[in-house]
Structure 1
Amino acid sequence: YFRTGGDKPSLLLLHGAMSNGLCWSRVVKSLEKDFDVILPDARGHGKSVSHQKDYSLFELVEDTAELITHLKIAPVIVMGHSMGAQMATELGARYPDLVKKLVLEDPGYYFKNPSFFTLLSYNWIIRRNKRRDLSQIRKCCDKLIKGWHAEDKLSWVVAQKQFAENAGKFSKSFDPKREWHSIFPMVKVPTLLLVSENGIMTRSEASEYILAFGAASYEYIEAAGHIIHFDNFEVFMSTVRAFLR
């Protein structure tokens, strides 16, 4: 994991599938003045090389709980994107004493929006080709994805190469039929759900889900896809900052 440090409130950032902690780099730069930001790489991602076959959400959450306990930062503010938002949700449900607040960026609870699978297919193409070097992956990224900041694009490209080398049978550990509606009521801490114009979750779904949480609200961000903090960084940051105050 990476950590900015300092005697400040702790903020744990959980990345999405096929990503890594450093894909939050611009978010970190915006928040490190006010927070001790911690960026773990989930098992099989980034520098967390793992030869284990179990990449289930259960194990990812266990890893996260152990990290929080080891660092003695509980209760901590947790912000997660996609898979990381799923992890954060379940962490808040299973380990309420470890969590202070949750920010959930376009969680992949239920895949109903087909536009998400476009991004997923991009990742899948890159992941399968382990022989590509970073420059080749970058060229592929340039062709497929437009409008990202250069720093975001570079961190994402590096993450794809790391994931391709480390992940093993990662995709087989996901449970698309998970019953999230039974988990939502177990999350009692203040929670902000972020949805976007072209993400996984729709506004109507967000409106429904927040009623099941203990203390949740949602914000809708236009001109953004699944990775909101890449697609519309300024609005993302202003929204997050307002919630964290």
Structure 2
Amino acid sequence: MAELMMGHVMANGQRIHYYRTGGEKEPVVLLHGLSDYGLCWGRLPLFLEPIYDVVMVDLRGHGLSDKPEDGYRAEIMAQDVAETIRALNLIKPVVVGHSLGAVIAAALAAQSPDLVSGVVLEDPPWHTEAGGMAEKEKNAQGYLAWINGLKTQSLQGMMDFARKENPSWDESEFMQWAKGKLLVSLHTARYIHEEQIPWQQMIKGIKVPGLLVYADVDRGAIVSQQVAEAAQSLWPRLEIAYLPGAGHSIHREQYFKYRDVVKQFLRKHL
């Protein structure tokens, strides 16, 4: 891969940091999950770089981007990404998101359809029924305890923990996963705690093409077959791809299968 560029733009009042492969190529924007950062995409940017200009964004509260106390609703973070796309003069990229990044990609497609050629959503946190405030508070507190516990460890300690918990991951994943936990702000728990637009309401009426990638709930994935089919009924241009043998981090657990379905979507829509 050519030398990775990095920089920042002012977007929606925030300093948003990004990494970029560059070149006169069609653009692909990658949005990481909660507590990760732009370099947590592992081998995917290396695979895409010969054909695409790959931009890996640090979402607000993550990586080297600003870490405000608030602004962690999906529609606000989608505005961050929209203004980043405009600031970098990216012409109708495909936006690929994992988990939180997938929710933001869907919100972006709903709010700013003219900005994107399509979106790929990897296991967004879409449940059959939304949890109540008590459940949100419990989940937010659990997240904070998990992050605080990790932050007390050394980088090597976090890598060892991730390696033990995720034996199927490629060795190249652990360093960046651990760095993400060191860099993430505790303010990001607000995403879990705050009331978000229901996913059914968010995606209904989206006009741009989409791909929803989902995996095995019994391995820790969130999107079920039922949710995937319901999403497709609300979003006629949504394709769904089930990748068995993975949990929530499909791009880490079934990298080659994931890479191939993303490549097919990009070929079709860029």
Is the TM value for this pair above 0.5? yes
Is structure 2 residue 206 aligned with structure 1 residue 184? no
CA contact (8 A) 2:245 2:253 kept: yes
| Partner of residue 214 from structure 2, selected from 177, 192, 195 | 195
| Partner of residue 101 from structure 2, selected from 84, 94, 99 | 84
- Gapped regions of structure 1 (runs ≥ 5): 113-119
Number of residues of Structure 1 aligned to a counterpart in Structure 2: 235
Instruction: Output the CA distance in 1 between the equivalents of 2:68 and 2:226.
Output: 40
**Cα RMSD between the aligned structures?**
2.0
Displacement of 1:34 in angstroms is 0.7
Which residue is 2:176 aligned to? 155
Instruction: Output the CA distance in 2 between the equivalents of 1:150 and 1:111.
Output: 34
Q: Identify the structure with bigger relative contact order (alpha carbons < 8 Å, sequence gap 6+).
A: 1
Hey, which bits of structure 1, 4+ residues long, moved more than 4 A?
120-126
Displacement of 1:44 in angstroms is 1.1
| Partner of residue 141 from structure 1, selected from 124, 147, 162 | 162
Is structure 2 residue 127 aligned with structure 1 residue 127? no
Displacement of 1:121 in angstroms is 9.9
> What secondary structure does 1:25 align onto?
coil
> What secondary structure does 2:105 align onto?
helix
CA contact (8 A) 2:26 2:52 kept: yes
Is structure 2 residue 232 aligned with structure 1 residue 210? yes
Q: Please, what TM-score do these two structures have when normalized by structure 2? A: 0.81
Q: Please, what TM-score do these two structures have when normalized by structure 1? A: 0.89
Query: CA 1:168–1:60 in 2, change beyond 3 Å: closer, same or farther?
Result: same
Instruction: Output the CA distance in 1 between the equivalents of 2:42 and 2:231.
Output: 29
Displacement of 1:142 in angstroms is 2.6
Displacement of 1:124 in angstroms is 5.1
Instruction: Output the CA distance in 2 between the equivalents of 1:233 and 1:208.
Output: 26
- Gapped regions of structure 2 (runs ≥ 5): 1-17, 130-139
Displacement of 1:238 in angstroms is 1.0
> What secondary structure does 1:187 align onto?
coil
Percent identical: 31
The one-letter amino acid of 2:259's match is M
CA contact (8 A) 2:128 2:227 kept: no
Displacement of 1:176 in angstroms is 5.7
Is structure 2 residue 186 aligned with structure 1 residue 168? yes
Select the structure that is richer in helix.
1
CA contact (8 A) 1:43 1:50 kept: yes
TM-superposition CA deviations, 1:104-137 (whole Å, max 9, x none): 111112277xxxxxxx999655411333220121
> What secondary structure does 1:22 align onto?
coil
Which residue is 1:115 aligned to? none
